[in-house]
Amino acid sequence: MPVERYRNPRKARWPQADYIIGSGFIVTPEGVIHLGLGNIQGVERHIRNYRHGRDLTDKPRGVKVIDLFGLTSEDVRHRYPAIYQWVLERVKPERDQNNRAGYRDKWWIFGEARSEWRRMCATLPRYIAAGIQSGAAASRWLTA
């Protein structure tokens, strides 16, 4: 993606970042320990910090999010069985009821792929997160 596209803020079309479809992807600091964070190699690539709009304007809750983008359900089941079971129990039942086939079929992926956003932020040390609520925007620099 060309950098020039973002030099003029009046013409900028910022890509939307990932968003979550299913609250079962959100995990407390205590919950991530049971999912293998810090104990199972590779889990740290799939459990990340999560900020909701209110976390930007108030004290952050310190929750994490399960991000299995790039993995098949079989990959998750074999490599990270605790994460697979967590998502199977907490996300799949809700996703089975979703009208969008993409969400039903890829129930272990927390939302839209947003590959443009992922490519952009892959090399960034930090980024601006903005939460828009009731027409007002709050933004913060966050570490990538």
Residue pLDDT, tens place only, 2-15: 444 444 444 455 55
Task: Choose between 136 and 31: higher pLDDT.
Answer: 31
**What pLDDT does 134 receive?**
57
For residue range 58-108, what is the model confidence (pLDDT) as tens digits? 888 889 999 998 899 999 999 999 999 999 999 999 999 989 898 899 999
Q: How far is CA 135 from CA 32, 64, 73, 131, 140, in A?
A: 34, 26, 38, 10, 17
Residue 69's contacts (CB-CB under 8 Å, 6 or more residues apart) are: 18, 109, 110, 113, 118
Domain that holds residue 70: 3-143
Whether the per-residue pLDDT at 54 is higher than 90: the answer is no
Structure tokens at 70: 């790039």
Q: How many residues does the chain have?
A: 144
Q: Please count the structural domains in the chain.
A: 1
**Nearest-CA neighbor of 31 among 112, 90, 111?**
90
